[in-house]
Amino acid sequence: MDKNIRIKKYLISALLLIFAGTVFSLFTGKYPLTFALLRGGNPQAVKVFLTLRLPRTCMALLGGFGLGAAGYVYQMVFRNPLASPDIIGVSSGASAGAAFGILFLSAGAFSVALASFLGGLAAVLLTLALTRLAPGRGQGTIVLAGIAVHSLAQTLLMILKLTADPERELASIEYWIMGSLSGISLYRLPFTAVVCFLCLAGIFVLHRQILLLSVDEEESRMLGVPVGKMRLTVLLLATLLTAAIISLTGLISFIGLIAPHTARLITRDNCFPTLLLGGLSGSFLLITADILARSVSSGELPVSIFTSLLGVPFLLYLMLKRA
Amino acid sequence: MKKFISTFMILALAFSITACSAGNTAENLPSSGQTAGESAPAPEQDAAQTTDSNEQDVASTEQGSQQNSAEPAQAGTDADSPDAASAQVTYPVTLTDQLGRQVVIEKEPETLVSGYYISTSLLLALNCQDRLTGIEAKAKTRALYRLSAPSIIDLPSVGSAKEFDLEGCAALNPDLVILPARLQDVIPTLEELGITVLAVNPENQELLEEAARLIGTATNTLPAADALFQSAGDCLAKLDDTLADTKKPSVYLAGNSSFLSTAGTNMYQSALIAQAGGINAASELTDNYWSEISYEQLLAWNPEYIIAASDASYTVDSILNDPNLSECEAVKNGRVYQLPNAIEAWDSPVPGSFVGSLWLASILHPDQYPDSQWKEAATAFYETFYRFTPDLENLYESD
């Protein structure tokens, strides 16, 4: 009981922090937006608010939550505290896809997002197909196949970078890999939002099974979980989620890794609240990082700089406090 | 424990700050300490300004100032006429290149290798195309080469700034290799192979002019090097007079990689806007490289004109049709243009870049500076220095 109250307290404070971050995010940015201006109905201000500021804030909340939740799923399924979307090649596949989009399709934001989404998905399907071909099919096989696909995608990315024109294409690729929410607008949000909501709903519904997957394989089989199928479904959900987010924002590092650990250090177990708290700390981390990314310098800075800069000290603080 | 944590956080912050600033300065090559992109080029360069210490140099600079009063076209022909004999270089000559190295050139070089498109276009302007035996990679993509000296396109490639082909360069055994400063790592190796290397760093107008004089001295074509910027300076000075009392509109220069990247005050492109009688909308940015910005930032600046870079990877239509920008002044009024690219990218520090300013002036101030004027100047420039008549009706590469 005592523990439940403690976790509730943490959940509520996380929500409060996120609320504060959201308000702050809505009124931080290059365009001079004030509450009075919005209430006065200044058309330009309202348009900026609705098509740019609000979608960007929503994307930070949703993206952070999604990456945190996906990270939780990966870590549970692989029973590995270092697991992250990279482990089965999503991020490197998405990077290679984005680079391909920048080089061979138009530089329009939509085609790059589509290419990276497909790239991420292709990498994961390849990983899973390789796993199926191998005898055994244990989670060790997935990790190995993932490493192979990850390296393959990295090589592809390197080749694409080599052929890129350093002035425009290479710069675009590098910026994409560093991640940024600056290109988010109302017109680009819907697809990602729908995919995210569906995947998150799926993960929420299956949270019990995910928990069972994290214990011994034999045990979960005895408890009636079709281990192979369930693992595949859950991984696909987490992957779709990640691919949908990073196809829009570019790579955002560390959230998938750090957010679930942060939650685990607070709850000290792997139950449902950990998933929630992992998502929420992801949201908070990303929204804070994005506020900094757009306000620290006169231009836009890559958001990944701040996610790790903010996330690492916090994680270390929790770690040391526990010790 | 708390102490440890706070120390760590400070360290992390310090690290990130240095990482950020390192990222910015990495693009800023070690130069001679000049501020990048000082607004207007200095047509009258006085002798003290040049870093070269040899006598020929000083003498020819004086001659350069005398020519200042002459007509631009005449200055061009002067360059080839024999009475420019006072500017003859006597070898051996010692030069200080743009990496601060002392370079001794024993005799007038008969074979040249250029590892950088800017030095190659300088060599073309100095009428040295027949001496070239090797050039940088991707020469096929340079329209200027095709128009001015098609024969050089098929010369052996010595690679790019990313991947320099040391062996290929050595195999050509040239009398002189001209390299960009960013390839400084390969210089010691080339010198060990007995090849003379001159490093140039034409990051802005002053450095470009200095580079032209260095190459002019090295190849014994100083008068042409002086004349090259004479006509540009005259044209820009005249434009400045014409636009003296005109209101300057704000101009947003959209970068090559994305229209949400732009050039701040310290960049070469900012000078281009200023010379054309515009105000850089992004003047609050002080980065030395393209900065990424957001839609919001662009809407907040609300520029009257949006000019896309020559090699933009997107189209003007994609800006005009972007629903996020529909409220922007420039988009509302359809004032979105792309810098021409059919001849060369005028938004990079090349000798012909002043034509970009003239073109932009005709867009920003059509009443004061009609289309015909920049076309006239561009034709004269390319005919004099690059020996071809530019087709100014088709300003964009059709691909």
Are β-strands B336-338 and B305-308 bridged in parallel, bridged antiparallel, or unpaired?
parallel
Whether B176 and B259 map to the same domain: the answer is: no
User: B179 forms bridges with which residues in the sheet?
Assistant: B199
Ranking A44-58, A300-314, B5-19 by mean pLDDT, the lowest is: B5-19
Cross-chain residue pair B291–A44, CB shorter than 8 Å? no
A190 vs B: CB within 8 A: no
Residues of A in contact with B293 (CB under 8 A): 30, 182, 299-300
Helices (runs of H) and strands (runs of E) counted in chain B: 15, 12
Please, are residues A252 and A63 in contact by the beta-carbon 8 Å criterion?
yes
Report the b/e string of A212-247 with b at 16+ CB within 10 A. bbeeebeebeeeebebeebbbbbbbbbbbbbbbbbb
Give residue B85's pLDDT.
47
Q: Is the pLDDT of residue B62 over 60?
A: no
In this prediction, residue B8 carries a pLDDT of: 53
Q: Is the pLDDT of residue A288 over 60?
A: yes
Q: Does residue B277 belong to any structural domain of this protein?
A: yes
Of A167, A187, A313, the CB nearest to B9: A313
Of B260, B297, B311, the CB nearest to A167: B311
Angle in degrees, CA B108, B111, B116, rounded to 5 = 110
Distance CA A91, CA A86 (A): 5
Closest residue in A to B285 (Cα) is: A298
The token pair that represents A315 in the structure block = 């994680």
Spatial contact of B241 and B145, defined as CB atoms under 8 Å apart: no
Q: What share of chain B is helix, strand, coil (3-state, %, to 5)?
A: 50, 10, 40
CB spacing of A171 vs B300 below 8 angstroms? no
Backbone angles phi, psi at B87, to 5 degrees: -90, 5
Strands B176-180 and B112-114, by their bridges, are parallel
Residue B191, domain member (yes or no): yes
Burial class (CB in 10 A: 0-12, 13-18, 19+), B373: middle
Would you call A32 and B5 a contact, using CB atoms and an 8 Å cutoff?
no
Residues of B in contact with A294 (CB under 8 A): 294, 296
Tell me: pLDDT of B72 over 60.
no
| pLDDT recorded at residue B280 | 94
B254 and B339 fall within a common domain? yes
Q: Is the pLDDT of residue B235 over 50?
A: yes
The CA–CA distances, whole Å, from B91 to A158, B56, B114, B219 equal 47, 10, 21, 10
Q: Look at residue A141 in the predicted model and tell me its pLDDT.
A: 80
Identify whether B340 is preceded by a cis peptide bond (ω within 30 of 0): no
CB contact under 8 A, B324 and A180: no
Asked if the structure places residue B7 within a domain, the reply is no
Average pLDDT over every residue of B71-97: 60
Collapse the DSSP code of B198 into the 3-class scheme (helix H, G, I; strand E, B; otherwise coil) and give the result: strand
Regarding whether B242 and B215 lie in a shared domain, the answer is no
Chain centroid to Cα B133, Å, comes to 23
Q: Which of A172, A187, A298 sits opposite B323 (nearest CB)?
A: A187
| pLDDT given at position B87 | 67
Residue B58 domain flag = no
User: What integer is the mean pLDDT of B217-245?
Assistant: 91
Query: What is the distance between the alpha carbons of residues B196 and B111, in angstroms, rounded to a whole number?
Result: 11
Determine, yes or no, domain membership for B398: no
**Using DSSP, how many helices (H) and how many strands (E) does chain A show?**
15, 0
pLDDT of residue B250: 95
Structural domain containing residue A94: 2-322
Interface of A with B in 2-31 (CB under 8 A): 29-31
- Rounded to whole angstroms, the Cα distance separating A227 from B154 reads 62
Give strand pairing partners of B308: B254, B338
| pLDDT reading at B357 higher than 80 | yes
Name the band, by pLDDT with cuts 50, 70 and 90, for residue B110.
very high
Mean pLDDT of chain B: 80
| Residues of chain B contacting A, Cβ within 8 Å | 1, 4-5, 8-9, 12-13, 16, 19-20, 161-162, 255-258, 260-261, 264, 284-287, 290-297, 299-300, 311-314, 318, 323-324, 327
A105 vs B297, higher pLDDT:
B297
Q: Do B5 and A305 touch (CB under 8 A)?
A: no
> Is this complex's ipTM strictly greater than 0.85?
no
> Looking at B150, B185, B220, which one is the last position of a domain?
B220
**B258 contacts in chain A (CB < 8 Å):** 107, 172, 175
Percent of chain B exceeding pLDDT 70 equals 77
pTM (2 d.p.):
0.74
CATH of the domain at B94: 3.40.50.1980
Question: Between chains, do B5 and A106 touch, taking CB under 8 Å as contact?
Answer: no
Three-state DSSP class for residue A266: helix
Structural domain includes residue B59 = no
- Interface probe for B, chosen from A25, A26, A28, A30 (most Cβ of B below 10 Å), is A30
Domain hosting B135: range is 89-220
Distance CA B151, CA B228 (A): 22
Looking at the fold, whether B382 and B245 belong to one and the same domain comes out as yes
Q: Which of A279, A280, A114 is nearest to A188 (CA)?
A: A114
Please determine, for residue B49, whether its predicted confidence score (pLDDT) is greater than 50: no
Clarify whether residues B152 and B273 are in a common domain.
no
B329 within some domain = yes
Contact B299, B323 (CB under 8 A): no
Tally of domains in chain A:
1
**Alpha-carbon distances, residue A298 vs A65, A115, B63, B270, B327 (angstroms):** 28, 30, 45, 16, 22
CA of A314 vs chain B CAs: smallest distance (Å) = 9
pLDDT digits (tens, 9 = 90+) for A74-87: 888 888 787 777 77
The yes-or-no verdict on residue A43 having pLDDT over 70 is yes
pLDDT in tens, A123-166: 988 988 888 887 766 667 888 888 899 999 999 999 998 888 77
What is the domain-level CATH number for residue A11? 1.10.3470.10
Q: Are residues B246 and B347 in the same domain?
A: yes
Q: Is A307 exposed, middle or buried (0-12, 13-18, 19+ CB in 10 A)?
A: buried
Of B155, B185, B220, the residue at which a domain comes to its end is B220
Looking at residue A52, its pLDDT comes to 85
How confident is residue B84, by pLDDT bands cut at 50, 70 and 90? very low
- Arithmetic mean of pLDDT, B252-263: 90
Using CA atoms, how far apart are residues B142 and B121, in angstroms rounded to an integer?
10
A1–B contact, CB cutoff 8 A = no
Query: Would you call B292 and A299 a contact, using CB atoms and an 8 Å cutoff?
Result: yes
pLDDT at position B4 over 70: no
A175 inside 8 A of chain B by CB: yes
Asked if A171 lies within 8 A of B16 by C-beta distance, the reply is no
Chain A, chain B: beta-carbon pairs less than 8 Å apart: 115
d(CA A114, CA A107): 12
Judging by DSSP bridges, how do beta strands B176-180 and B197-200 pair with one another? Answer: parallel
Detail the DSSP E strand segments found in B108-249.
Answer: 112-114, 132-134, 176-180, 197-200
With a cut of 90, say whether residue B31 has pLDDT above it. no
Rounded to whole angstroms, the Cα distance separating B81 from B61 reads 17
pLDDT of residue B359: 95
User: Is the pLDDT assigned to residue B206 strictly greater than 60?
Assistant: yes
Chain A residues near residue B161 by CB distance under 8 angstroms: 166
pLDDT in tens, A254-285: 888 888 988 888 888 888 889 999 999 999 99
Interface test with B, best of A33, A167, A184 (most B CBs within 10 A): A167
- Name the percent of chain A lying above pLDDT 70: 96
CB contact under 8 A, A166 and B20: no
Predicted pLDDT at A149: 92
Residue B30 has pLDDT above 80, yes or no: no
Instruction: Let me know whether B287 and B190 are in one domain.
Output: no
Last residue of a domain, one of B163, B187, B220: B220
Burial class (CB in 10 A: 0-12, 13-18, 19+), A90: buried
In a domain, B302, yes or no: yes
B310, closest residue in chain A (CA to CA): A168
> Which of A170, A208, A175 has its CA nearest to residue A76?
A208
A189 Cβ contact partners less than 8 Å away, ≥ 6 residues apart: A55, A58, A59, A248
Look at B5 and A108 and tell me if their CB atoms are within 8 Å. no
What is the model's pLDDT at position B1?
A: 45
Mean pLDDT calculated for residue range B221-245: 90
Which residue in chain B is spatially nearest to A105 when comparing CA positions? Answer: B313
Please, what's the largest Cα pairwise distance for chain A? Answer: 67
A298 touching B (Cβ < 8 Å):
yes
Percent of chain B with pLDDT over 90: 48
Substitution target from A182, A254, A296, A319 for chain B, most B beta carbons within 10 A: A182
Return the minimum-mean-pLDDT range out of A71-75, A258-262, B10-14, B323-327: B10-14
- Please check whether residue A185 touches B, CB under 8 A: yes
pLDDT of res. B59: 38
Going by the DSSP 8-state scheme, the letter that residue B92 receives in this structure is: S
Contacts of B183 in chain A (CB under 8 A): none
Greatest pairwise CA separation for chain B in angstroms? 81
Q: Indicate yes or no: CB of B324 within 8 angstroms of CB of A187.
A: yes
Confidence band (pLDDT; 50, 70, 90) for A182? confident
Residue B378 has pLDDT above 50, yes or no: yes
Dihedral over alpha carbons B281, B286, B288, B293 (to 10 degrees): -50
The count of domains in chain B is 2
* B251 and B145 in a common domain: no
Residue B54 has pLDDT above 70, yes or no: no
CA distance B136 to B122: 13
